[in-house]
Every structure is written in structure tokens, then in C-alpha cells.
């Protein structure tokens, strides 16, 4: 961990950016935008590793495990953010995707000096979660050398968990410690070493992909429809109505009635409208398909046969 930080790509001082303090505002924001536009290509270079990580996560979650992010500073905050968005988006239990940050919850809004340098800082957090078999721990660190993140991945592997190392430098210690290394090399930052910029954007893109692709594979969508959305407010109730309508082509009245019958849940409402089944049969079919609406629909309806309720407009 004592390697020269200045040798890392994320810490490089790019001379082409050395006069940004003399640029007019339009040129400055244009430069930042141009650099941001390179991030997606850097992520694309890691698609094989991303797919491998998603497969690890899906296998673990399907077996009852958790996805656990561990990082410090910006990296830790991005992990906590992604974890916190899974319950309202995919109706997951809050314990399924968890974000750990060096220094604990206070570090979400206030820097906790030195917390990232504690290689054993995550150990009590991993203890509290009982991390072990079936869990997948993703260490996040732009530099790829943050002791907290490397320690979390190393300890998680010792406990039997599968691990992923997400960094923005090639050949990182974090990647070497993990089962799967995702190393998105975005190059020098516009403000040297400010890894909340391109590196942070890259990490957000990767985390979006990990959870979204995993949830799709776990049956949390029907096509591209967010059928496991939790209708907990008016916006989400309206969204659930639109989702059920798009999936069934049923009348507004039929959609409202189905959602009311199934406590605002889009997935059983869709299956009920497509099949005409009562709620107990719908519930049993979804249980038999492990919650995969596509499987339940395909089992219920012969291929290419439109559901009778699709003509209820």
C-alpha cells in the first residue's frame, strides 16, 4: 500500500488541463463535458468482467445471499447510493443490497479522516452482517489501493464470500485481491486527483449496471417494465398503472381494479389480467416461478396466444 500515488493514472497531472483556471466558463464546462464523454468507452472495455460480476451476484442473490458494497469517500457514498435505490426500484428487501462506508454512516456527509487507511475498518461491519457463503462483496476504490476496500475484499474472501474489485487503475491491489477485477481506466482528471469526476462517473455507471442487470436476471422486470416497483407514493402509483397498462393493454378501469385487488403490486396485477386467474392462483403461479413474471406468463399462455383480457379496452 506504500506505492507512489503519483504513479497512478487517477493521480496523473495532465498538462493539457493546466490552464483551466484561465478558461472562460463556456470553454471550461465544454472541457469537462468532453472528458466525461470518454467514460462510457472505458466502461465498455470491461464488459466481460462486468458480465462475470453480474453472474456472481445473480448466483449469490438467488441462493439467499447479499450484495455488499464497501468503499471510502466518494466510492463508499456511491455504493450506499446504489444500495439505497434498490428497494424502491425493484422492491427488494433493504438487507439484500447493502452499502458499507469507511467511518460509518456519518461519513456519508462528513469526511472521517483516516478511516480509509484502516485495512480492518470493515471487519466489524462484515461481522455485524455475518458475511459468508452466497454473499458477494464489491470493493470500490478509484485508486484501487484504498486499505479499507482492499481489506474488506480480502476478509470477505476469507469468510467464503465471492468478491469483485472495482477501481480506475489497471493492475490494482484491489483487483488482485478479488475474484473479479473491474478496472475502468478513465485517465487523468480535469482537476488532478479529483476522483469524484470521471472516476466517480465510471463507478456510478458500473454500479448501475451491476444491480440493474442482476435484477433483470432475477426476474425483477418484465421485458423492460419495472414490474416489481413498490407503489409507495402517488408518482409510483401512477407508474404502476402505466406499467400494468403497457403489459396488458387492459382498460384503465380494469388496471385500477387489478392493482387494488393486489395491493398496488404490478406483477400479480399483470398476471391476473393476462390470465383471468383469481388472486390465489396468481400468487401460487408466481411462487412456482420464483417471482419471474415472464416464466409464469409463458407457463400459463401458449406461445403467440394473446390473453383474453388484453381485449378489455
Q: What is the CATH number of the domain that holds 264?
A: 1.10.8.1080
2-38 burial: b if 16+ Cβ within 10 Å, else e: eeeeeebbbbeeeeebeeeeeeeeeeeeeebeebeee
Q: Is 207 exposed, middle or buried (0-12, 13-18, 19+ CB in 10 A)?
A: buried
Q: Which residues are catalytic?
A: 85, 116
Does residue 168 sit in the same domain as residue 39? yes
Would you tell me how many other CB atoms lie within 10 Å of the CB of residue 210?
A: 24
Percent of the chain with pLDDT over 90: 83
pLDDT at 13 over 90: no
**Local confidence band at 310 (pLDDT 50, 70, 90 cut-offs):** very low
The one-character DSSP state at 264 is T
Does residue 120 sit in the same domain as residue 155? yes
Query: How is residue 306 annotated by DSSP?
Result: P
Lowest-confidence pick of 88-97, 171-180, 303-312: 303-312
Residues 212 and 238 in one domain: no
Same domain, 143 and 47: yes
- Predicted confidence (pLDDT) per residue in 56-87, tens digit: 999 999 999 999 999 999 999 999 999 999 99
Q: Is residue 228 part of a domain?
A: no
| Residues 142 and 170 reside in one and the same domain | yes
The model's confidence at residue 17, banded by pLDDT at 50, 70 and 90, is: confident
Q: In terms of domains, do 80 and 183 share one?
A: yes
Helix (H/G/I), strand (E/B), else coil: 124: helix
Segments forming the whole domain that contains residue 267: 234-311
Confidence of residue 206 (pLDDT cuts 50, 70, 90): very high
DSSP code string of 187-252: -S-SSTT-TTTHHHHHHHHHHHHHHHHHHHHTT--BTTB-TT----SHHHHHHHHHHHHHHH---H
User: Is the distance from CB of 248 to CB of 274 less than 8 angstroms?
Assistant: yes
pLDDT band with cut points at 50, 70 and 90 for residue 303: low
202 occurs within a structural domain = yes
pLDDT (0 to 100) of residue 9:
77
- pLDDT of 94 higher than 90: yes
- Residue % of the chain over a pLDDT of 70: 94
> Residue 133: its pLDDT value, please?
96
71 within some domain: yes
Same domain, 138 and 281: no
For range 212-219, the mean pLDDT: 97
Helices (H), the chain: 25-36, 39-44, 47-62, 73-90, 123-129, 147-158, 173-177, 198-217, 234-248, 252-261, 266-275, 279-288, 293-300
The reply to whether 147 and 53 lie within a common domain is yes
Amino acid at each position: 500500500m506504500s506505492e507512489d500515488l503519483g504513479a497512478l493514472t487517477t493521480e496523473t497531472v495532465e498538462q493539457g488541463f493546466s490552464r483551466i483556471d484561465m478558461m472562460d466558463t463556456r470553454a471550461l464546462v465544454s472541457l469537462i463535458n468532453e472528458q466525461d464523454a470518454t467514460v462510457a468507452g472505458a466502461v465498455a472495455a470491461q464488459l466481460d468482467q462486468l458480465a462475470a460480476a453480474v453472474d456472481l451476484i445473480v448466483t449469490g442473490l438467488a441462493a439467499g445471499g447479499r450484495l455488499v458494497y464497501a468503499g471510502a469517500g466518494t466510492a463508499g457514498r456511491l455504493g450506499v447510493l446504489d444500495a439505497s435505490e434498490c428497494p424502491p426500484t425493484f422492491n427488494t428487501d433493504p438487507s439484500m443490497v447493502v452499502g458499507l462506508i469507511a467511518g460509518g454512516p456519518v461519513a456519508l456527509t462528513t469526511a472521517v479522516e483516516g478511516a480509509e487507511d484502516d485495512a480492518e475498518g470493515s471487519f466489524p461491519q462484515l461481522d455485524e452482517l455475518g458475511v459468508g457463503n452466497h454473499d458477494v462483496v464489491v470493493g470500490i476504490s478509484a485508486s484501487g489501493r484504498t486499505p479499507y476496500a482492499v481489506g474488506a475484499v480480502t476478509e470477505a474472501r476469507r469468510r467464503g464470500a465471492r468478491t469483485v474489485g472495482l477501481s480506475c487503475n489497471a493492475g490494482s491491489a484491489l483487483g488482485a485481491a478479488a475474484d473479479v477485477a473491474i478496472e475502468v481506466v478513465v485517465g487523468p482528471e480535469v482537476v488532478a486527483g479529483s476522483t469524484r469526476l470521471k472516476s466517480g462517473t465510471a463507478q456510478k455507471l458500473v454500479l448501475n449496471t451491476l444491480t440493474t442487470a442482476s435484477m433483470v436476471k432475477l426476474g425483477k422486470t418484465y421485458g423492460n417494465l419495472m414490474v416489481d416497483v413498490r407503489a409507495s407514493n402517488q408518482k409510483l402509483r401512477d407508474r404502476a398503472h402505466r406499467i400494468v397498462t403497457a403489459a396488458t393493454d387492459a382498460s384503465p378501469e380494469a388496471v385500477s381494479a387489478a392493482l387494488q385487488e393486489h395491493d398496488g403490486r404490478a406483477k400479480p396485477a399483470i398476471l391476473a389480467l393476462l390470465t383471468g386467474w383469481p388472486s390465489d392462483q396468481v400468487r401460487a403461479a408466481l411462487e412456482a416461478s420464483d417471482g419471474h413474471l415472464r416464466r409464469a406468463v409463458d407457463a400459463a399462455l401458449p406461445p403467440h396466444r394473446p390473453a383474453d383480457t388484453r381485449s378489455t379496452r
